[in-house]
A = this chain, B = another copy of it.
Amino acid sequence: MKSQRSDCPVSQSLDVWGDKWSLLIIRDLMFAKQLTYGDFLKAPEGISTNILATRLLQLEEHGLIEKLDHPDSKAKVLYRLTGKGIDLVPVMIEINLWAEKYFTIPADRKAMLKEVKKDKDGFIKAGMKELRKG
């Protein structure tokens, strides 16, 4: 997915994160703020190591995530969302709301979405602010 298929905003977006794994990586970073390579591998979907490496690189190249030195060790690498990545929070929330309506989802997610529905704009704004703090 390297070249642009059209100038449609949806198409261009999909060219960046429209695959099976990228949004899951972004999801993990939205919940955790900072993760190591190994942390991503622990996600329940079970991404394989080569795919993860490729996706992390592409997301970094597209400016959605960035690498960070780990404070404890040079052997570890931290990944976090950039502003461009954080700006996907509204998309992520809407996906969750859609999924809640049509799938069976975990209780903790349901609880989160209950909060979202009380004040969607407020929830999103607060979440994004928190992510920007680091």
Contacts and interface: CB of A to CB of B under 8 A. Distances in A.
Interface in A1-27: 1, 5-14, 18-20, 23-24, 27
Q: DSSP majority for the A interface?
A: helix
Nearest to A97: B90
Interface string A29-47: 0000000000000011110
A92 B20 contact: no
Given A10-B24, A18-B20, A91-B98, 11 more contacts: A5-B44, A5-B46, A8-B27, A10-B27, A12-B103, A14-B20, A84-B102, A87-B102, A90-B98, A91-B91, A91-B94
Contacts of A102: 84, 87
A101 interface: yes
A96 interface: yes
A40 to B, nearest CB: 13
A45 B94 CA distance: 25
Size bracket of the A interface: 35 or more
A95 interface: yes
A78 interface: no
B101 A10 contact: no
Contacts of A88: 98
Interface in A78-134: 84, 87-88, 90-106, 109
